[in-house]
Amino acid sequence: INYILITEFNFGVVRVDSSKNRISCSRFLQHAIMYLLKETCRDAFKELKIMTIVSLYILEAILYVVKSGQTRMGDQHNYNTRHRRNFLLEAHHLSLVKKKPSYSGAAFYNQLPEELRRLPEEKLKTSLRNWLLDRSVYSIQEFLDWRNQR
């Protein structure tokens, strides 16, 4: 595998912001790996410990929200509720808001399993990266539906 290609895609995730560009980058990476390995990508991504473009975007969006110190549900009151670790998603009327890293990252974080949400910020990156590597997520919808795919 050409590790320069993979490094370029890892760096490019931070710069790519529209869904069309993300999808085309993801398809390009899939075709590059299929060409190099002559097999399907999903297992190759897992075996080679390579994150898909969508997984990289999800990882970066979640880490951005965690580091930014956005408001959590537990910050609103002193009750010990089961959703206290979730980020508060503000009501909005524009689809543009959903595309912002601050909103999408919070929505992604809220979908994570409880054991990942309990982790401190220092351990979250490694654990979340490993969790995403095990799943080889190809689309945002696939990530959001991960609980139904068991």
Show me where the domains of the chain are located.
3-149
Give the tens place of pLDDT for each residue, 40-66.
667 777 877 888 888 898 999 899 888
Q: What string of DSSP letters covers 11-61?
A: HHHHH--SHHHHHHHHHHHHHHHHHHHSS-HHHHHHHTT---HHHHHHHHH
Give the tens place of pLDDT for each residue, 94-115.
776 777 778 888 889 888 898 9
Rounded mean pLDDT of the chain?
74
If pLDDT is split at 50, 70 and 90, which confidence band does 31 have? low
Q: Is the dihedral of CA 46, 5, 59, 122 positive or negative?
A: positive
3-state secondary structure of 145: coil
If one compares 45 and 31, the residue with the highest pLDDT of the two is: 45
Rg of the chain in Å (alpha carbons): 16
Q: What is the pLDDT of residue 114?
A: 87
**Residue 137 clears pLDDT 60, i.e. is over it:** yes
**Residue 17 clears pLDDT 50, i.e. is over it:** no
**Residue 91 clears pLDDT 50, i.e. is over it:** yes
CA distance 85 to 115: 11
